[in-house]
Chain A
């Protein structure tokens, strides 16, 4: 079982390095294979993670139920994005196109490698290292299109995210400091050791470390008010990268916060950590819901929807009821699938209409007979409509919130989510469900719907994969997955 961890951490890296030298056509296939294998291997860890408390290789690699949840989400999106990228990339002929393709595939695989590594490594310090690697690789991927917008977005992203991670590094050091009061000045900084000693850590130090960790990793997770890089990077990056940033990277940062949460509840009791997450979560949800009502850029719309969902995750953790924590973990999986699918659809639309401006996109469902309807379905999934996975997860979160003494928060959550639903569905309906525009209006402005036809079959396949996963999560999650989520919720200190 432990050899799987080694394969998971070696394979994407090797593939990433190999794609620098291989022809782009081969890289395309190799990336799909690597993504599919990573997902399959992550799934094989599910039964083991529920049966044992942890699987470890030496002192560096280790997974438990909580890390497997995030591993599965990341690996799924790795596979789906690899398929999507095959249809999305239109490389220029000649050496320029080849160079772009090689850089793109190397970056994509290495980015996924760093995100797969984050839940696999053991200890807060290595976790920080893995997340910092995700930043530097993804910053280059954001800049890869070499437009003014991409340059601006990547500078903001690398600077703001690095500063956030600087704060997270301080949190890591301070948490280590908290441990020295129990274990002496040199000790092994692993999760098991920290959780075992957490009850005796000095509370003030842990409180400081937790707040710094939420602020620092929250920057990468996109929590308001430290979310400012997110809409820029998501909208200017190539669409496969946007999908990974939104579906996986934000989740991995949330995973880091949960690791601090685990320690903080053992030292301080649940109230403090929950209140911190509640404040950040409410701010994120409120601001995102308002911004969703005034967007014109399709990819920025989806980016703010990510801020909204990260807010829901933080609020869900603040409820603390076991059912809400299970809902939060399910939400991570469902968000990866739904946001991936939505960005794939957006990529198809942007390729077809050659614009991200939603006022210039009309009759999408007519122009794109497959990916159009599937984009509408993905947006409905993001708005937590049944039968998709997010309906189930938000239902669990809200019912957990209603059992909380502060049930007004659950009411506020429902109101803001409805507001966000209005924004998302308004713009999607306008762009996708309107009749085709055949001719330009008299004054020469207006838009013309391009002729009917899909951009690429690969895109359709990738979107179908996401929707199937969402329906499975919504209608009937496999028993082993439910066990995994319960197990992970127990590790987070719920269900005790």
Chain B
């Protein structure tokens, strides 16, 4: 039996797909700056989803959350990373281990894996769209591909932040009822993590005069 998806589930799915496509775009972006801008766009889409969920399900706290996530993830975080890039005076992303085509192929593979694994959970829930959850899982896996295959600290940090966007989509569609205090705590945590990533990236740049991770191979065994 295939019920016609509700408008709510439809919008959630479309947004989730947009987030996934942005993730793929990041994977192929040659410039670090464009990667950061793509992240800002992705965050904007996620904030939009928060507004939509708030309006359609009448959860007023989510408006506050959407505003907070807009300020943090669309304005502050990209701003901070772009400033770091300007100071570091580096434009091109570090050489990735594989070519773009192979990276995209791998990402297609893992996102299909994530989509079908989570999608195969036989959960029948009237209110909550499982498809969007499956796409969010695919976003998380593609973020992993980005982090593993790109060899510079900015791509890796952006990969982590966009992974968090994927989890945000999941949390908006299946856990919108989470208490606000918890959601705010999540965002606050992200902010602290961004600051720490920024500090360590800066220290790294200060020591090696580059943003590449190729020199980070001394500790082993």
Query: Which residues in A have some Cβ–Cβ distance to B below 8 Å?
Result: 60, 123, 125-126, 129, 132-133, 135-136, 139-140, 143, 146, 148-149, 151-156, 158-159, 162-163, 166-167, 169-170, 173-174, 176-177, 180-181, 184-189, 202, 204-205, 208, 231-232, 235-236, 291, 294-295, 300
Partner of B192, one of A133, A167, A236: A133
A136 pairs with B192, CB closer than 8 A: yes
B34 within 8 A of A: no
In the complex, the answer to whether B219 meets A177 with C-beta atoms within 8 Å is no
- Binding-face segment, B43-51, B105-113, B156-164: B156-164
**Nearest CB on B from A184, distance (A):** 8
Asked if B177 CB lies within 8 Å of chain A CBs, one says yes
Of the candidates A129, A135, A291, the one whose C-beta lies within 8 Å of that of B182 is: A129
Residue from A155, A163, A204, A300 within 8 A of B213 (CB atoms):
A155
Q: Which residues of A lie under 8 Å from residue B176 when comparing CB positions?
A: 185-186
Residue count of chain B within 8 Å CB distance of chain A: 51
B7 at the interface (CB under 8 A from A): no
B199 and A140 contacting across the interface, CB-CB below 8 Å: yes
Residues of A within 8 A of B215 (CB): 152
Shortest distance from the beta carbon of B65 to any chain A beta carbon, whole Å: 14
Bound-state CA distance A123–B186 (Å) is: 14
Bound complex: CA A60 to CA B182 (Å)? 10
CB of B204 within 8 A of CB of A140, answer no
CB distance from B80 to the nearest CB of A (A): 15
Residues of A within 8 A of B143 (CB): 166
Question: A185, B123: Cβ atoms under 8 Å?
Answer: no
| Interface residues of chain B: helix, strand, loop or mixed (majority) | helix
Q: CB-CB < 8 A to B75: which residues of A?
A: none
Residue B196 at the A interface, CB < 8 A?
Answer: yes
Residues of B within 8 A of A186 (CB): 59, 176-178
Is B200 in contact with A155, judged by CB distance below 8 angstroms?
yes
Interface residues of B (CB under 8 A from A): 57, 59, 118, 121-123, 125, 127-128, 133, 137, 140, 143-144, 147, 153, 156-157, 160, 163-164, 167, 170-171, 174-179, 181-182, 185-186, 189, 192-193, 195-197, 199-200, 203-204, 207, 213, 215-216, 218-219, 221
> Quick check: A126 and B185 within 8 Å, CB to CB?
yes
Quick one: closest A residue to B189, CB to CB? A132
Least distance between A358 CB and chain B CB atoms (Å): 13
| Docked-complex contact A125 and B178, CB < 8 angstroms | yes
A143 x B200 contact (CB < 8 A): yes
Task: Contact check, A170 vs B137: say whether CB atoms are below 8 A apart.
Answer: yes
Enumerate chain B residues within 8 angstroms of A151, measured Cβ to Cβ: 200, 203-204, 207
Residues of A contacting B122 in the complex (Cβ-Cβ under 8 angstroms): 202, 204
- List chain A residues, Cβ under 8 A from B193: 132, 135-136, 158, 162
